[in-house]
Amino acid sequence: MLERYKELLHPLVFDPVLARVEDPIDRIFGVLDGYRRMLTGSGCTLGCPVAALALEMSEKSEAVRTLVAENFEAWRLGIRQCLIDARRRLPRDVDPDSLATLVLTVMEGGVLQARTHHRIEPFDSSVAQLRDYFDRLLTRRRRSFKKPGG
């Protein structure tokens, strides 16, 4: 099952967003919106099956733990690519690996909290804070290009 999730990640999660959204940062939030739609469509009862397996099985089976890690890494690398594509808009000191890990953490944490509370607000709040962080990064980059006195 985890192998299949890994195979379907791009066709089901990333490719639809890449096909309709051009801006790489907007693509990240498009992916997150896909999870939001899944949550709201299920009354906040469905979540990420990979995360569920991580919580339940990763300490019981090294093979499962490895496949869970591979799934998370594939997701993180998809987000990382969006960040690399947006590198000219981000401050030079932004590490795309670390920022992609943060995006994954926000998504998984938001999904977990929405499912726990059966409300979308924890997910929305998490994504809103992430959006604010991105906005600040973009503003910081734009300011670094302004000339003194101009």
- Determine the length of the chain: 150
Q: Quote the distance between the C-alpha of residue 7 and its chain's center.
A: 17
Q: Cα–Cα distance between 103 and 100 in angstroms, integer?
A: 5
Give yes or no for a contact between 71 and 5, defined as CB atoms under 8 angstroms apart. Answer: yes
DSSP 37-85: HHHHHTTS----HHHHHHHHHTTT-HHHHHHHHHHHHHHHHHHHHHHHH
- Amino acid (one-letter) located at 47: G
Give the pLDDT of residue 81.
98
Q: Nearest-5° angle of CA 127, CA 133, CA 137?
A: 140
Give the pLDDT of residue 143.
76
Q: Cα–Cα distance between 87 and 89 in angstroms, integer?
A: 5
Structure confidence by residue, pLDDT tens digits, 36-75? 999 999 999 987 777 776 767 667 778 888 888 999 999 9
Give every residue of the chain whose pLDDT is below 70, as ranges.
53, 55, 57-58, 144-150
Question: Can you give the pTM of this predicted structure?
Answer: 0.89
Give the pLDDT of residue 79.
98
Domains and CATH numbers, the chain: 2-23+34-144 (1.10.357.10)
